[in-house]
Structure formats: structure tokens, C-alpha cells
Structure 1
Amino acid sequence: MSQESIIHCNSSVREIKFKAWNPQNQEMYSPYCIDLMIHLNGVFQSLDDKGLIKGTINTPQLELLQYTELKDISGKEIYDKDIILRKDTKLNSKYIGVITFGVYGEEHSENHLGFYVNWITKCAKDFRKDLTYWNKKVKVIGNIYQNKKLLF
């Protein structure tokens, strides 16, 4: 097995880019679309367009947060682990959810794999989960690392 994995961002199918959370210094690294070499020993290296090392982050706990390729109601990019807000003005209600990647299913339908909304607000647990249904109806208000208080 190889000691490294390479994620290529030059895709004609979809734009692949990431934000990264570093729990050691509580810092979120900005979105980027570069080739990224991930070594199994916890070293992350960004590469320029010629494959030369541009920068190194030395932490085994760096968490990569992938761009969903969707934007919220205000045009802000939506990433994995973002916290979203859905306002229902007719019912004067607010609902909170977390963007998650994985297998999900709606009642009476088959399972799907992809980005979905994990609704945190109790009365929203039965809402649809597919992010493509909600992205233009919600607003990104934070993420689970920097805005934990929004989850309670």
C-alpha cells in the first residue's frame, strides 16, 4: 500500500476543493483548489501546478471539509460540516441542520450516497434530507468546529 494519497482538483466533472480544520491551533484554512498530497503520517502538503511543494501542515488530526458544489440562498459556498439555518416565515420558525456526507434515505425510498442535511432541530427530523432540495432555501451560519453553540 502506498504511503501517500493524491487528491487532484483538476476535474472536468465537478469542482473539488476543500477547507481544512486544524484542531491543534483551532484554525480553519481557507478553501483551495490545488493538488494535495496526504501522507499517512499526518503531513499534508499543498502542491503548485508544477507538482512542487508549496506548503506543509504537520498534524495528524487535520480535518478536510469538501465543497458540495452548491451555494446557499445568499450565494455562499456550502461545505461538509457547515451549519445551516432554514427560516419559515409563514410559521415563524427556524430550523438548524448540519451538512453531512454519507448514506441517507427518506422514509419509503431507497438509500442515497452524498451530501445531505442532518436536521438538528427536533421538529425538523422528518424533513427531506437531500441537500440539493434545500440549498437555495437555507443560509450557512457557521460550522461545527467554530460555532458549536449554534447546535444547542
Structure 2
Amino acid sequence: MREIKFRAWDENSQEMIYEVGITPEGIPYSIPENAEGCDQFNYFLTCHKMQYTGLRDKYGREIYEGDVVRNHRRYSNELLEVFWQEEVADYSSDGVYWTKEVPGFRFKRINKGMMTVFVANVDLEVIGNIYEDPELQEASHASK
């Protein structure tokens, strides 16, 4: 079974906060190291939540939503963005519309805009994320 954990990008402080909890209302929080009581929390109201995928890259680093990974398979060296999708809907090459209502983590090819589901994590390397390293997406779009 996959470990469920989150991180959050705090818009106010412009930093990534790891090991955050989520309130029933969906608000990320953390317990400060200097907390003296069990009721002291830091809430992150202006943030982006990202869930751990349960995967690790070829170096053992955890892969989260919002990460940008390099796919080393067959020397492709392509950049992929990790995201969660509730359902998949697309057109096939013959023009037939299809849907698969299978929620899950997906990998979007940044420089092609296409999505892929099946990527072996042993071929992946986390090189950044869309919040701390936005230039990864910009550089990929510029190289098209």
C-alpha cells in the first residue's frame, strides 16, 4: 500500500513545506518545531498541495505532484511534469473519443504537451518542481 503524505508550496513565503497534514476542510498545516502544546499549528491558506506518488526516482528521491522529472529511458532525456488526474479523456488517432475513469498520477511531456501514464520510475530523475524551478517549463517550451 502506498504511503499517503503531502507537501505544500506556500505562496506567501515562496517555500516548499514538507510533511504537512491536511485538515478535513482541505487546508494544509504543520506543527512547528518550537510548539509547546498540541494545539499549535501553522496553517497554509495560500498554498498548492501536492501528494506523494508512492514512487521514487532512480536515486531514491520521492516523487510528488508538481515535480519535473527527466526520463532517461532509451536516451530520450525528455522532461515530464507529474500531476494527478481524476479521469482520462482523449481522442485516439482514428478520431474516436474515449474515456477511462481511472484516477491516478500521470506524467505530461512538457515539450510535447502530451500525457503518458506508463513510465518506469527506475528511468526517472527528479530535477525540480514547477514552483521552485519554473524555468524548467519555460526552457522546454522555448526549445520547441
What TM-score results when the alignment is normalised by the length of structure 1? 0.68
Superposition pairs for residues 31-110 of structure 1, below 5 Å?
32=19, 35-37=21-23, 39=25, 44-46=28-30, 52-57=38-43, 59-88=44-73, 93-102=76-85, 103-104=87-88, 107=92
Superposed displacement of residue 71, structure 1: 0.5
- How far does the alpha carbon of each residue in 1:34-71 deviate from its partner, in whole angstroms, 9 at most, with x for none? x542557x6x4446xxxx334222x4322111101110
Q: Which position in structure 2 is the counterpart of 1:138?
A: 124
Give aligned-pair identity as a percent: 27
Superposed displacement of residue 14, structure 1: 3.0
- 8 A contact 1:96–1:119 mirrored in 2: yes
Q: Which position in structure 2 is the counterpart of 1:26?
A: 14
Superposition pairs for residues 103-118 of structure 1, below 5 Å?
103-104=87-88, 107=92, 111=100, 112-118=102-108
Secondary structure at the residue paired with 1:28?
A: strand
Which has the larger share of strand?
Answer: 1
Superposed displacement of residue 105, structure 1: 5.8
Kindly report the root-mean-square deviation, in angstroms, between the aligned alpha carbons of the 2 structures.
3.1
